[in-house]
Structure 1
Amino acid sequence: MGASAIMFCYQCQETTKNAGCDLLRGICGKDERVANLQDYLLYALKGLAAVAVRGQESGVTDPATDHFMAQALFATLTNVNFDAERIYQLTKETFARRDALRSRVHAARHAAGLQCKTPLPAAAGQSADGDIEAYVALGACFSSTINKHSDPDIQSMRELLTYGLKGLAAYCDHAYVLDHGDPSLLAFLHQGLAATLNDELGLNDLIQLSMRCGELGVQAMALLDTANTGRFGDPEPTSVSLGVRPDAPGILISGHDLLDLYDLLRQTEGTGVLVYTHGEMLPAHAYPVFKAFPHLAGNYGGAWWDQQRDFAAFNGPILMTTNCLQTPRDSYRERIFTTGMVGFSGLPHIADRAPGGQKDFSPLIEMALQSQPPLELETGSVMVGFARKAVLDNAGAVLEAVQNGAIKRFVVMAGCDGRQKEREYYTEVAAQLPQDAIILTAGCAKYRYNKLNLGNIGPFPRVLDAGQCNDSYSLVVVAQALAQAVGAEHINDLPISYDIAWYEQKAVLVLLSLLHLGVKGIRLGPTLPAFLSPNVAAFLVQNFAIKGIGNASEDVAAMMAGA
Structure 2
Amino acid sequence: MGMFCYQCEEAARGVGCTAMGVCGKTPEVANLQDMLLWVTKGLSYWGLKAKEYGIKDDEANLFVAEALFITITNVNFSVERMVEFIEKALDLKDRVKHKFLEAYAKEEGKSFDEKVPEAAEWDKRGDANLYAQKGFEVGVLADKDEDIRSLKQLVIYGLKGIAAYADHAYVLKYTNDDILYFLQKGMAETLREDITADELINLTLETGKYAVEVMALLDKANTSTYGNPEITEVYTGTYNTPAILISGHDLLDLEELLKQTEGTGIKIYTHGEMLPAHAYPELKKYEHLAGNFGGAWWQQNKEFAEFGGAILMTTNCLVPPKESYKDRVFTTGLVGFDKLTHIPNRTDGKPKDFSPVIKKALELGPIPEREGKKIIIGFAHEQVAKVADKVIDAVKSGAIKKFFVMAGCDGRHKEREYYTEFAANLPKDTVILTAGCAKYRYNKLDLGDIDGIPRVLDAGQCNDSYSLVVTALKLKEAFGLEDINELPIEYNIAWYEQKAVAVLLALLYLGVKGIKLGPKLPAFISPNVLKVLVDNFGINPITTVEEDLKFFLNK
TM-score normalised by structure 2 residue count: 0.98
Question: How many residues are aligned here?
Answer: 554
Deviation track 1:364-405 (CA, whole Å, cap 9, x = no partner) reads 111111224334565101110000000001110010110111
Tell me the equivalent position of 1:531.
524
Instruction: Give the aligned residue type for 2:305.
Output: A
Matched, 1:319 2:312: yes
| Unmatched 5+ stretches in structure 1 | none
Secondary structure (helix, strand or coil) at the match of 1:213 reads: helix
Q: How is 1:344-359 mapped onto 2 (pairs within 5 angstroms)?
A: 344-359=337-352
Deviation per residue, 1:313-343 (Å, 9 max, x gap): 1111100000000010011100000000000
Distance 1:379 1:418 in 2: 23
**Structure 1 residues 140 and 228, CA gap change in structure 2 (3 angstroms):** same
Find out whether 1:168 has 2:132 as its counterpart. no
Residue in 2 that maps onto 1:30: 25
Q: Residues 532-547 of structure 1: matches in 2 within 5 Å? A: 532-547=525-540
Greater than 6 Å deviation, 4+ residue runs: none
Question: Partner of 1:17 in structure 2?
Answer: 13
Instruction: Please state if 1:335 is matched with 2:328.
Output: yes
1: CA distance, partners of 2:419 / 2:320: 26
Render the CA deviation track for 1:52-91: whole Å, top value 9, x for unaligned.
1211223222111101111111100000000100110100
User: Which position in structure 2 is the counterpart of 1:47?
Assistant: 42
Q: For residue 478 of structure 1, what is the amino acid of its counterpart? A: T
Structure 2 counterpart of 1:224, from 218, 225, 231: 218
CA RMSD, Structure 1 to Structure 2 (Å): 1.1
- Does residue 194 of structure 2 align to residue 188 of structure 1? no
Q: How does 1:130-279 map to 2 (within 5 A)?
A: 130-143=126-139, 145-149=140-144, 151-246=145-240, 248-279=241-272
TM-score by length of 1: 0.97
1:116 Cα shift?
4.8
2:361 paired residue number: 368
Q: Report the counterpart of residue 91 of structure 1 in structure 2.
A: 86
Please give the alpha-carbon distance, in whole angstroms, between the structure 2 residues aligned to 1:257 and 1:128: 35
Deviations, residues 395-442 of structure 1 (Å, cap 9, x unaligned): 100101101111100000000000111111100100000000000000
1:403 is paired with a residue whose SS is: helix
**Mapping of 1:459-474 within 5 angstroms?**
459-474=452-467
Once residues 457 and 112 of structure 2 are traced to their aligned partners in structure 1, the CA distance between those partners, rounded to angstroms, is 54
Letter in 1 for 2:3: M
Q: Distance in 2 between matches of 1:306 and 1:264?
A: 23
Q: What is the identity, as a one-letter code, of the residue corresponding to 2:93?
A: R
Aligned to 1:383: 376
> Do residues 62 (structure 1) and 57 (structure 2) align?
yes
Partner of 1:280: 273
Q: Secondary structure at the match of 2:532?
A: helix
**Equivalent residue of 2:394, what SS?**
helix
1:297 aligns with 2:293: no
Summarize deviations over 1:353-372 as a string: whole Å, max 9, x none.
12432110111111111224
Q: CA deviation at 1:115?
A: 6.4
Give the corresponding residue for 1:552: 545
Is the Cα–Cα contact under 8 Å of residues 233 and 288 in structure 1 kept in the other structure? Answer: yes
Q: Does structure 2 retain, via aligned residues, the 8 Å contact 1:301–1:377?
A: no
1:397 matched residue in structure 2: 390
Choose which of 439, 444, 447 in structure 2 pairs with 1:446: 439
Query: SS at 2:364's partner residue?
Result: coil
Q: Return the alpha-carbon distance in structure 2 between the equivalents of residues 401 and 11 of structure 1.
A: 41
Code of the residue aligned with 1:124 in structure 2: it is A
In the alignment, the residues of structure 1 paired with residue 485 and residue 148 of structure 2 have an alpha-carbon distance, to the nearest angstrom, of: 29
* Equivalent residues of 2:296, 2:440 under 8 A apart: yes
- Does the 8 Å CA contact 1:51/1:120 hold for their aligned counterparts? no
Moved more, 370-379 or 174-183: 370-379
Quick one: distance in 2 between partners of 1:40 and 1:367?
36
Match of 1:481 among 469, 474, 487: 474
Judge which range, 204-213 or 110-119, deviates more. 110-119
1:118 maps to amino acid: E
Find the aligned partners of 2:344 and 2:523 in 1 and give their Cα distance. Answer: 36
Q: Is the 8 A contact 2:273 2:436 kept in 1?
A: yes
What are structure 2's unaligned runs of at least 5 residues?
none
Match of 1:493 in 2: 486
Helix, strand or coil at the partner of 1:251: strand
